[in-house]
Amino acid sequence: MMPGLQHFFESMRAYLSEPGAEGMERLYAAHPGWEAPRERVALYGRFVRHHVVDGVEKLFPLVRRCVGEATWEELIRDYFATGPARHHELNRLGEHFPDFLADRAREERGLTAWVPALARFEWTDFAVYASEERVPETMERLSPNPTLTVLQHPWRLCAFVRDGAHGEPLPGEEMALLWRHPTTLTTLYMAADDAALLALKMAVEGLAPEDVAAATGVAEASIRAAMERGVADGLVLAP
């Protein structure tokens, strides 16, 4: 890249990280004689910041509610300063927000430890919904849903989210399962229980209900019920 062009991009990057009056003054000082209309440059700066702010607010409404408006505004400002919008798909601008919050929690800036986990849950909810994994129209055998994503965290986030994310989540190890239903195309989630894990094990290992019943001593009817619940929920896919 030519030195002049590299200098321009570096100065513009600095401006977009702080698209206010001071940032604009530094941008113009870096390019003496530049005659671009200031109102247009300011509009561009606000436009880029709006994409990040608007996208993150839509992706993480529960985090926003839990931390409160004052903290949220501070977090958004600092997250934007870590780097301006780079991806053409606007929702992807929030992809690194959970990691950003995790760093904030480690720095002990008053952010509770479960907030980054909640952000990861919200991001995964969207990522599963937008997954490009193809769900086959026909199956040869019982198979796990290809959009399935597993999160492990020391809080009861599934119940917390289901109840509207009020207060704080209860502590406790949880394996959260999130997947896109093959028919309704909505993201579903649940705290993994024995029935769900059994259905997944059968799907992954190709086990028949009668074989599981013989190996475990559990009634075959109970095993079939677990499998049928998994199929109805779209967690596993049946022939």
Q: Where is average pLDDT lowest: 88-97, 186-195, 230-239?
A: 88-97
pLDDT at 83: 60
State the average pLDDT over residues 146-167.
96
* Strand pairing category for 236-237 and 187-191: unpaired
Reply yes or no on whether the pLDDT at 2 is more than 70: no
Cβ neighbours of residue 187 closer than 8 Å, sequence gap 6 or more: 125, 126, 128, 129, 178, 179, 180, 181
pLDDT digits (tens, 9 = 90+) for 136-145: 878 789 999 9
pLDDT at 193: 96
Cβ neighbours of residue 210 closer than 8 Å, sequence gap 6 or more: 220
Reply yes or no on whether the pLDDT at 188 is more than 90: yes
Q: Buried (b) or exposed (e) across 113-147, using 16+ Cβ within 10 A? A: ebbbbbbbbbbbbbbbeebeeebeeeeeebbbbeb
Reply yes or no on whether the pLDDT at 1 is more than 50: no
User: Under a CB-based contact definition with an 8 Å cutoff, are residues 113 and 170 in contact?
Assistant: no
Q: What does the alpha-carbon distance between residue 176 and residue 83 come to, in Å, rounded to a whole number?
A: 31
State the average pLDDT over residues 211-215.
91
Q: What does the alpha-carbon distance between residue 129 and residue 148 come to, in Å, rounded to a whole number?
A: 10
pLDDT at 186: 94
pLDDT digits (tens, 9 = 90+) for 59-114: 999 999 999 999 998 898 888 777 655 666 667 788 899 999 999 877 766 788 89
State the average pLDDT over residues 223-229.
95
User: Where do the domains of the chain lie?
Assistant: 1-128, 131-239
pLDDT at 26: 81
Average pLDDT, the chain: 87
Tell me the whole-structure pTM to 2 decimals. Answer: 0.80
DSSP 152: E
CATH of region 131-239: 3.90.930.50
Reply yes or no on whether the pLDDT at 238 is more than 70: yes
